Chains A and B, each alone.
Chain A
Amino acid sequence: MKLTLWTYEGPTHVGAMRVATGMKGLHLVLHAPQGDTYADLLFTMIERRDHRPPVTFTTFRASDLGADTAGLFKTATQEAHARFQPQAMIVGASCTAELIQDDPGGLAGTMGLPCPAIPLDLPSYSRKENFGADETFHALVRALAKPMARAEGVTCNLLGATGLGFRHRDDVAEITGLLAKMGIAVNVCAPLGATPDDLTRLGQAHFNVLLYPETGEGAARYLERACGQPFTKTVPIGVGATRDFLREVATITGLSAKVDEAGLRQPWWSASVDSTYLTGKRVFLFGDATHVIAAARIAAEEIGFTVVGMGCYNREQARPLRAAAAKHGVEPLITDDYLEVEAAIAAAAPELILGTQMERHIAKRLGIPCAVISAPVHVQDFPARYSPQMGFEGANVIFDTWVHPLVMGLEEHLLTMFREDFEFHDAAGASHHGGKAVARVEEPEPEAVAIPVVAPSGEVRWLPDAERELKKIPFFVRGVARRNTERFAAGKGISDITVDTLYEAKAHYAR
């Protein structure tokens, strides 16, 4: 038993719903009690879907438990087929139905339905949403895809995009366009937009593009074995990763990796002198492993930030996340407890947080700028405009998204230079961050021996002059300056921090 106040991932059957809702001509029957229908609103409200998810909930009650819940399942399945006439059905159990062990897969198999009825294994008490999506897609592909002759011309399948995915809609459009520039057509994109009949044609493609390992890796690995289709390992998020992806595709297909990069602005936007102030900004990254690993590379190599912490909530991808963290020289944080993430962020004192909607809330509490890079999704993650994360346009979008929350170059200098100004004092914050400007509270002249306001974090003590000097450092780096100075002092055996100690430490840690 684990106390959870908030969870990054939903249950496994929500993963199955993401696959079913992304597809067409497929129907999911979930053996589940009343109340589990709440998941419909994730799709109709967060994603603003204009149709109900193709999901039937059997809706058993306490009074049915001693009676015939299996009969209820069969009736619901029969009626769902009659009403929706799907090309295929998938059947599974939500957490409660898993306990009553009616075996939806076995029951559906005996019903003689005129379409494939594919059983899903959705272990609710040990796994989570991404696993459920990956497993559901994998089960569909295992049941429907067969080896077959390759199509004429070079084609690929795009794997892993689902309903309720973080920018999946636009990533699919972007990567489809990018591959077209190499002369590669998309055979099937699945689950998003595909029908069960489309899945039977997966084997025609020459290779697979694995867009999202979280939700498509099981299927990609199966197709590699069953249909002899290699799949791409690079997720094309960021300029470097997109070019690597193109080279990987070129290796598989023998086509040229050189494509027209017109429209790619991120490298110049990053090189322009206006962006100099971005250099070495300390960023903390948290989200699903795929987006975090890609974001860390962009942060370090394409924008010039310093990665001070990174982590993911999905244990399935912990290994590549650990490897990436080692590359950036930080401790990986693998957890689904947001309080742990909050503590790690507070300790790292970053200048920018790149995270999920939860980190956005954490950032608000800590007063740190933030941009969202990963699911779990929020209604804001479904913008009306075209807004991919992948490919060259994705790199442009990411640059804007990350840089806009920051205090801009000249404003940062003004904040530093005119700290005593009534408009630029600490509490005023940056001009473009919402919230009302707060008037500066005039402090009385410090007395000769003031009691330190800065809480000493070790054996060292801040002398009043040093403390006043510390307050002149911009608020967004003050925490780091304080800790660096104390660490420096402790290392040198200095117990009283003076103004000199502060500047010696600054010189010591100069970047």
Chain B
Amino acid sequence: MSLDLPAAGCSTAPVLKERGQHEVFCGLTGIIWLHRKMQDAFFLVVGSRTCAHLLQSAAGVMIFAEPRFGTAILEEKDLAGLADANAELDREVARLLARRPDIRQLFLVGSCPSEVIKLDLARAAERLNVQHAPHVRVYNYSGSGIETTFTQGEDACLAAMVPTLPATEAGDLLVVGALPDVVEDQCLGLLNAMGVGPVRMLPARRSGDLPAVGPNTRYILTQPFLGYTATALDRRGAKRIVAPFPFGEEGTTLWLQSIADVYGVTAERFEAATAAPRARARKAVAAHAATLSGKSLFLFPDSQLEIPLARFLARECGMRPLEVGTPYLHRGLMAPDLALLPEGPVLSEGQDVERQLDRHAGQAPDLTVCGLGLANPLEARGFTTKWAIELVFTPVHFYEQAGDLAGLFSRPLRRKALLQGGAP
């Protein structure tokens, strides 16, 4: 695969902006992976029974002995008087922290109802911070559906942590975005082999490992949905390393190369660190590209990974994207991926699901990437689908996962070819 950048790709392609029913989760959903990543954190949603039901449904009724997330469900009396709601919140938090002495970070997470009744969780977090310091640090952010979409919840969460990070003058590299532990270790291994370090992670697995940040900090994003976090880091003086996102062999190489350029890694050292895993990644992707090559692709908006994934599927797997939907388009963060994405597909931002389904039916793509609400209805109409949520819940970054990532898209096509029971 050539690494020469095309002149423009989709950089200047027109964007179809839509507004209507969004078949996308709200930002609360991020709690499902964030609470696993941060092992001494508790996420307390202040919301309704709907919020609690969303979390347990989106998590596929994953019930842990005692999960590190919960919902303080607003009741009628809380709506009547906000002073009481604050007292109730303080009481529930005190009770929770007394029962869970292992909790060192508490996130108060705003929801649609708490935003609408203007329950001031920022002030509540300040108040609770005084009460429970120094043992517990209390943060707040909003995961509400009126303000955030799906993965934006992680963005809001990390952005809320940035102002509280300690200051430093050191020139450490900060890698930003919640990654599965195994992927994080691979990332650190690659950077270590390149001689880049010290490397710090945000979020950290435990509150004691939280990174410091300052004017000499260079940071790089691993996820395309971290716009607010990037702004918050910029405000602390840190400088972003611009790169495509590390999906696939090409994406990972360009991502690492951008770091190598900043830290003055020699070409020989870069080659030594990446040659073997690059070859492995290419080989692993090639096994799936045989299935994917030439197939058309339609991505409904979901996790905000759509543009980098379309880039990977087009350039490394030979697919033909017809429409690439994204909940919102952050041109600043997406520029490198947009430049690489071959011209051709419709770029759409936001959603009117009914109109988009009409366009989808008209295009009749070979593979459709969509949310769980749409997948089975589309399968029943003869389409082959890949549920998008798996892309967020599966290790997909960097070289060693490039083949797995391609496999997530090839499996539905191979499965469709295998099954003979459908037609009599």
Contact (Cβ within 8 A) A7 B26:
no
Which of A33, A50, A361 has the largest count of B CB atoms less than 10 A from its CB?
Answer: A33
Which of B53, B65, B71, B75 has the most C-beta atoms of chain A within 10 angstroms of its own C-beta? B53
- Number of residues on chain A facing chain B (CB within 8 A): 55
Taking a contact as CB atoms closer than 8 A, the residue among A2, A7, A48, A58 that contacts B53 in the complex is A7
Q: Does B73 contact A (CB under 8 A)?
A: yes
* B50, A94: Cβ atoms closer than 8 Å: yes
Interface residue? B234 (CB, 8 A):
no
Flag if A126 contacts B371 (CB, 8 Å). no
Pair B21/A35 contact, Cβ less than 8 Å: no
Give the residues in chain B near A57, CB-CB below 8 Å.
Answer: 21-22
Q: How far is the CB of B43 from chain A (nearest CB, A)?
A: 11
Which residue of chain B lies nearest to A123 when distances are taken between CB atoms in the complex? Answer: B76
Q: A4-B73, A38-B58, A44-B372 are in contact. List 19 more A-B contacts (CB 8 A).
A: A1-B85, A2-B92, A4-B71, A13-B50, A33-B112, A33-B144, A37-B21, A38-B26, A38-B57, A40-B372, A41-B372, A49-B376, A50-B377, A50-B379, A58-B21, A59-B21, A59-B22, A99-B117, A124-B48
**CB-CB nearest in chain A for B75:** A125
B149 touches A34 (CB 8 A): yes
Partner pick for B88 among A1, A40, A58, A76, CB 8 A cutoff: A1
* Interface residue? B56 (CB, 8 A): yes
How far apart are A41's CB and chain B's nearest CB, in angstroms? 4
Contacting residues, chain B, for A378 (C-beta < 8 A):
61
Assess whether B79 is in contact with A3, with CB atoms less than 8 Å apart.
no
Chain A CB count within 10 A is highest, among B44, B96, B146, for B146
Which 3 pairs from chain A and chain B are nearest by CB? Answer: A35-B26, A35-B145, A40-B373
Interface check A62, CB cutoff 8 A: yes
Q: Are A6 and B56 in contact (CB under 8 A)?
A: yes
In the complex, are the beta carbons of B48 and A125 less than 8 A apart? yes
B161 within 8 A of A: no
A10 CA to B374 CA in the complex, in Å? 21
B390 within 8 A of A: no
B373 touches A95 (CB 8 A): no
Q: A3-B72, A33-B146, A83-B354 are known contacts. Are A99 and B63 too (CB-CB below 8 A)?
A: no
Which of A1, A38, A44, A56 is the one whose CB lies under 8 Å from B92?
Answer: A1
Question: Which single residue of chain B is at the shortest CB-CB distance from A51?
Answer: B377
Asked whether B247 is an interface residue with its Cβ less than 8 Å from the other chain, the reply is: no
Contact residues of A between 81 and 129, Cβ < 8 Å to B: 83, 94-96, 99-100, 124-126, 128
Whether A128 pairs with B49 at a CB distance below 8 angstroms is: yes
Q: Which of B25, B147, B376 has the most CB of A within 10 A?
A: B376
CB distance from B259 to the nearest CB of A (A): 35
Tell whether, in the assembled complex, residue B52 and residue A125 are in contact, meaning their CB atoms are under 8 Å apart: no
Give CA–CA (A61, B22) in the complex, Å. Answer: 11
Are A60 and B74 within 8 A (Cβ)? no
Assess the B372–A1 pair: CB atoms within 8 A: no
Q: Is A79 an interface residue (CB 8 A)?
A: yes
In the complex, what residues of A have CB within 8 A of residue B52's CB? 4, 6-7
Q: CB of B289 within 8 A of chain A?
A: no
Query: Given A6-B52, A34-B22, A41-B373, A51–B73 Cβ distance below 8 Å?
Result: no
**Beyond A41-B373, A45-B372, is A99–B49 a contact (Cβ under 8 Å)?**
no
For chain A, residues 186 to 222, give those with C-beta under 8 angstroms from any C-beta of chain B.
Answer: none
Contact string, B9-29, partner A, CB cutoff 8 A, digits 1/0?
000000000001111111111
Q: Which residue of B lies closest to A14 (CB)?
A: B53
Contacts of A365 in B (CB 8 A): 65
CB distance from B157 to the nearest CB of A (A): 16
Question: Quick check: A3 and B71 within 8 Å, CB to CB?
Answer: yes
A11 on the interface (CB 8 Å rule)? yes
* A42 proximal to B (CB < 8 A): yes
29 contacts between A and B (CB under 8 A): A1-B89, A1-B91, A4-B72, A5-B66, A5-B70, A7-B53, A33-B145, A35-B24, A35-B25, A36-B145, A37-B24, A38-B29, A40-B23, A40-B374, A41-B58, A41-B372, A41-B373, A50-B379, A57-B21, A61-B146, A61-B147, A65-B146, A76-B21, A124-B48, A125-B48, A125-B75, A125-B78, A125-B79, A128-B49
Asked if A7 and B56 make an inter-chain contact with CB atoms under 8 angstroms apart, the answer reads: yes
Instruction: State whether A126 and B112 are in contact (beta carbons under 8 Å apart), knowing that A37-B22, A44-B372, A62-B147 are contacts in the complex.
Output: no
List chain B residues, Cβ under 8 A from A3: 44, 70-73, 92, 95-96
Which residue from B73, B79, B92, B377 sits with its C-beta under 8 Å from A49? B377
Q: Say whether A499 faces chain B, with CB atoms less than 8 Å apart.
A: no
Across-interface contacts of A49 in B (CB, < 8 A)? 376-377
CB A67 to nearest CB in B, in angstroms, measures: 12
- With contacts A45-B372, A357-B61 taken as known, whether A2 is within 8 angstroms of B146 at the C-beta atoms is no
A444 to chain B, nearest CB (A): 32
In the complex, what residues of B have CB within 8 A of residue A1's CB? 46, 72-75, 78, 85, 88-89, 91-92
| Contact in complex: A10, B146 (CB < 8 Å) | no
Residues of chain A with a CB closer than 8 A to B379's CB: 50
> In the complex, what residues of A have CB within 8 A of residue B46's CB?
1
| Minimum C-beta distance from A215 to chain B (A) | 17
A39 on interface, CB distance cutoff 8 Å: yes
Q: Confirm or deny: B115 has a beta carbon within 8 angstroms of a beta carbon on chain A.
A: yes
Task: With a 10 A CB-CB cut-off, give which of B72, B73, B85 has the most chain A CB atoms.
Answer: B73
How many Å lie between the Cα of A22 and that of B21 in the bound state?
A: 22
Q: Which of B68-112 contact A (CB under 8 A)?
A: 69-76, 78-79, 85, 88-89, 91-92, 95-96, 112
B54 on interface, CB distance cutoff 8 Å: yes
For window 1-32 of A, CB contacts with B under 8 Å fall at: 1-7, 9-11, 13-14
**In the complex, what residue of chain B is closest to A125 when comparing beta carbons?**
B76
Give me the interface of A with B, judged by CB distance under 8 Å: 1-7, 9-11, 13-14, 33-42, 44-45, 48-52, 56-62, 65, 76, 79, 83, 94-96, 99-100, 124-126, 128, 339, 357-358, 361, 365, 378
With A44-B376, A65-B116 in contact, is A34–B146 under 8 Å at CB?
A: yes
Which chain B residue has the least Cβ–Cβ distance from A10? Answer: B53
List chain A residues, Cβ under 8 A from B26. 33-36, 38
Contact B57 A39 (CB under 8 A): yes
Contact with A along B218-231 (1 / 0, CB 8 A): 00000000000000
CA distance A182 to B67 in the complex (A): 51
Q: Is B380 part of the contact surface with A, judged by Cβ < 8 Å?
A: yes
Q: Please, how many angstroms separate the alpha-carbon atoms of A99 and B24 in the complex? A: 22
Contact A6 B63 (CB under 8 A): yes
Contacts of A125 in B (CB 8 A): 48, 74-76, 78-79
Give the CA-CA distance A294 to B220 in the complex, in Å: 60
Chain B CB count within 10 A is highest, among A35, A38, A49, for: A35
With the chains together, A36 CA to B22 CA distance in Å?
Answer: 9
Is B48 a contact of A95 with CB atoms below 8 Å? yes
A3 and B52 CA atoms in complex are apart in Å by 10
Determine if B376 and A10 form an interchain contact, defined as CB atoms under 8 angstroms apart.
no
Given contacts A99-B79, A99-B116, contact A11 B377 (CB under 8 A): no
Taking a contact as CB atoms closer than 8 A, the residue among B44, B73, B373, B376 that contacts A50 in the complex is B376
In the complex, which residues of chain B have a beta carbon less than 8 angstroms from the beta carbon of A76?
A: 20-21
Interface assignment of B375: CB less than 8 Å from any CB of chain A: yes
Bound state CA distance, A83 and B75, in angstroms? 37
Q: Among A9, A38, A44, A96, which residue has its beta carbon within 8 angstroms of that of B112?
A: A96
Contacts of B374 in A (CB 8 A): 40, 44, 52
CA A52 – CA B380 in complex, angstroms? 11
- Residues from chain A with a CB closer than 8 A to the CB of B25 are 35, 37-38
Closest CB in chain B relative to A435 CB, distance in Å: 17
Contacts of A34 in B (CB 8 A): 22, 24, 26, 145-146, 149
Distance in Å: Cβ of A89 to nearest Cβ of chain B: 15
Bound-state Cα–Cα, A245 to B83, Å: 53
Q: In the complex the two chains form, what is the Cα distance from A257 to B219 in whole Å? A: 78
A6-B55 Cα distance, complex, nearest whole Å = 9
Partner of A62, one of B78, B115, B371: B115
Partner of A48, one of B85, B371, B376: B376
Cβ-defined partner of A95 (8 Å) among B50, B371, B375: B50
Using CB atoms, name the residue of chain A closest to B49.
Answer: A11
Asked if B145 and A79 make an inter-chain contact with CB atoms under 8 angstroms apart, the answer reads no
